[in-house]
Amino acid sequence: MSGPVDRFENEPWTAAVLGLGYVGLPFAVNAIQRGVQVVGFDVNTSKVESMLNGTSPIDDISNEELASALERGLKVTSDPADIKGLDAYFICVPSPLGRSREPDLSYIRSATALIVDVIGPGALVSLESTTYPGTTEEIIVASLTAGGFELDEEVFVAYSPERVDPGSAFAIHQIPKVVGGVSETSGAVAAAAYGRLVDEVHLVSDAKVAELSKLLENTYRSVNIALANEMAQLADELDVSIWETIDAAATKPFGFQPFYPGPGVGGHCIPLDPQYLAWKAREVGGSIRFIDLAEQVNTNMPKYVVERVARLLNDRGRALKGSTVLAVGLTYKPNIADDRESPSVEVVERLAQRGANVHVIEPMLTQASVEAHGVTAINQGATLGAVDLAIILTDHDDVDYEEIAHSVPVVFDTRGAYRKRALSFSNVVEI
């Protein structure tokens, strides 16, 4: 065991990163910065060509950071021959849900099949894509052993969940890395490799623990956001400020962590990851009541938000149909150009379906991306005199909230944007 562990701890080694999206590209850039020779692989040839021309496909890696990584030796490719015989393979491909909310592991299977074709003896394979407990053994170990590789002799296999947070102030290497091998030996080898890439490695007993830990992280968030969303609806019925209530509870120095309401949950993690756990729980006959209830609450929030808009307009003698509604923000979180699974998108689409004339300010997306949702994109500074109601769906920094409140009769703030900025207007209504 000391041979491969020592090699990954102390000697130069090469790595392939499969998938150059929100997870893989930051991983590859960080690895280059930590002195590891990296080849980034993606089947999307146009993405690879764009990167080679200096354009980063994601917000978290700027064009300048990409250029620096390329200068340091980062190679990006769509040619499998370029990742043949490397020392480590990190799988960072998508793991979406299918139409029936079942795990879609096709990307993981494809990446594994490719690795089997190009891997040499003594290499590490680590899966980073979010998935259910058992995937690393069922797919990666099974495929490698079927390909003639002996575990812990010719190949080492582990799972280490990605912890990428788009727009976060945390650098990749600053976030502790959970690592679990499919065996004790594989775990030690993987921990040695990750120890070169991040400041802190937390080695767990096996891959299943690591797989479950990722799902627990995001299920925890989903459940607590759902609680905040349900409390917000109750607070509205009681005519109590949910934001002031949460802030008051958060003064307790123990036993409470604040979560805040909003128009729903978005991104690739919180809406999807708990469903991987729910699917696996159903398969083994386990209980998933919290997960199912949280999903029901969170997925109902866009509908609830639209009903609140209709009620606010009705209070002013206006019907939703025919009214002009200004929506601020379509991305799922502030200051990033990512609208995957964004509840804001569902809100504006529902408003348009109900007959509202929806205008959208979205500084992070192109006009075409916004108008693909059947709404009208407008720039900041546009005349807002005809707007009947504004709704804050994503609290981007690059928005003039004071101007909106001064120009629009009523503002429905679903994100606490005005409270966060210490702005007080009598026509701003919080969720």
User: Does position 68 have pLDDT exceeding 60, yes or no?
Assistant: yes
Lowest mean pLDDT among 77-86, 88-97, 285-294, 339-348: 285-294
Other CB atoms within a 10 A radius of the CB of residue 226 amount to: 27
Using a pLDDT cut of 70, give the percent of the chain over it: 100
> Is 269 considered catalytic here?
yes
Contact 243, 430 (CB under 8 A): yes
Q: Nearest-CA neighbor of 77 among 25, 23, 40?
A: 40
Count of alpha carbons within 13 angstroms of residue 355, beta-carbon side: 7
User: How far apart (Å, rounded) are the C-alpha atoms in residues 416 and 46?
Assistant: 39
Residue for token pair 């091998």: 181
Q: What is the mean pLDDT of the chain?
A: 95
Q: Which amino acid is at 168?
A: S
Tell me the DSSP string of 28-59. HHHHHHTT-EEEEE-S-HHHHHHHHTT--SST
pTM above the 0.95 mark?
Answer: no
User: Does position 66 have pLDDT exceeding 70, yes or no?
Assistant: yes
Contact 313, 355 (CB under 8 A): no
Domains and CATH numbers, the chain: 2-205 (3.40.50.720), 221-430 (3.40.50.720)
Mean pLDDT of 182-196: 98
The DSSP code for 115 is: H
Contact 1, 89 (CB under 8 A): no
According to the model, what pLDDT value does residue 2 have? 55
Mean pLDDT of 185-214: 98
Residue for token pair 């990190």: 90
Q: Which of 5, 88, 108, 269 is catalytic?
A: 269
Span 272-320, pLDDT tens digits:
889 988 899 988 988 889 999 999 999 999 999 999 999 999 999 999 9
